[in-house]
């Protein structure tokens, strides 16, 4: 029906405002926007926490893996040292019984197992230490075992100069291990005492 003369046609939405201060529709929109704003705030708060949780879980996982690897390496090292100790015992027993060839065969086995040059005694003391520590990355436990074998080689050597050379290198390595060790070893002290007698 056409509007009468002098009558103003209300703008869209003006009809509701003329009867109601705020429409129901506008209230719902306002409430929805408020909820969305609150959700966005919560999301912003949760994101850093979730990120930290992920990092924390990753750190725990990596630490667990690292500990497992360290445990495996430690077990391997202990088995290796026990095996090497058995070889040294065989060398000692063969030497005591006068079975020189058998003792020397065990010495070769010892060096081959550690992938060492069988004539490491030809190196100077400084180059020997550098070779064992810097190049081969051996621990003090390994150095102690190698010192024991060098001592046994000195016992087996017939040439007096070669014998003293073995003893000097064995003493040098053992003294280094003893100086840096936090635990007392009677066996090590006995070996050092024997070597001092030989060298004096």
- Dump pLDDT digits (tens) for 103-149: 999 999 999 999 998 788 889 999 999 999 999 999 999 999 999 99
Q: Decide: residue 164, CB within 10 A, 0-12 exposed, 13-18 middle, 19+ buried.
A: middle
CA 8, 9, 14, 16: dihedral to nearest 10 degrees?
A: 110
Residue 32: its pLDDT value, please? 64
Global pTM?
A: 0.64
Q: What angle do CA 69, 145, 76 make, to 5 degrees?
A: 20
Q: Which of 152, 107, 143 is nearest to 125 (CA)?
A: 143
Do 121 and 153 form a contact (C-beta atoms < 8 A)? yes
* Sign of the Cα pseudo-torsion (86, 87, 90, 92, in order): negative
**33-46 confidence digits (pLDDT tens):** 666 676 677 666 66
Look at 96 and 1; give whichever has higher pLDDT: 96
């Amino acid at each position: 029906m056409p509007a009468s003369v002098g009558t103003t046609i209300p703008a869209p939405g003006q009809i509701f405002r003329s009867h109601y201060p705020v429409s129901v529709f506008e209230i719902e929109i306002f409430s929805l926007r408020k909820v969305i704003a609150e959700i966005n705030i919560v999301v912003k708060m949760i994101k850093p926490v979730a990120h930290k949780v992920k990092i924390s879980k990753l750190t725990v996982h990596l630490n667990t893996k690292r500990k497992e690897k360290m445990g495996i390496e430690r077990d391997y090292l202990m088995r290796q040292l026990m095996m090497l100790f058995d070889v040294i015992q065989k060398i000692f027993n063969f030497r005591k019984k006068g079975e020189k060839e058998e003792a020397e065969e065990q010495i070769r086995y010892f060096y081959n197992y550690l992938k060492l040059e069988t004539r490491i005694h030809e190196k100077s003391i400084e180059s020997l230490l550098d070779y064992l520590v810097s190049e081969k990355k051996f621990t003090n436990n390994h150095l102690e075992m190698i010192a024991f074998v060098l001592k046994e080689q000195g016992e087996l050597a017939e040439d007096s100069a070669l014998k003293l050379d073995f003893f000097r290198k064995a003493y040098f390595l053992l003294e280094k291990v003893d100086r840096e060790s936090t635990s007392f070893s009677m066996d090590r002290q006995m070996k050092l005492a024997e070597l001092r007698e030989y060298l004096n």
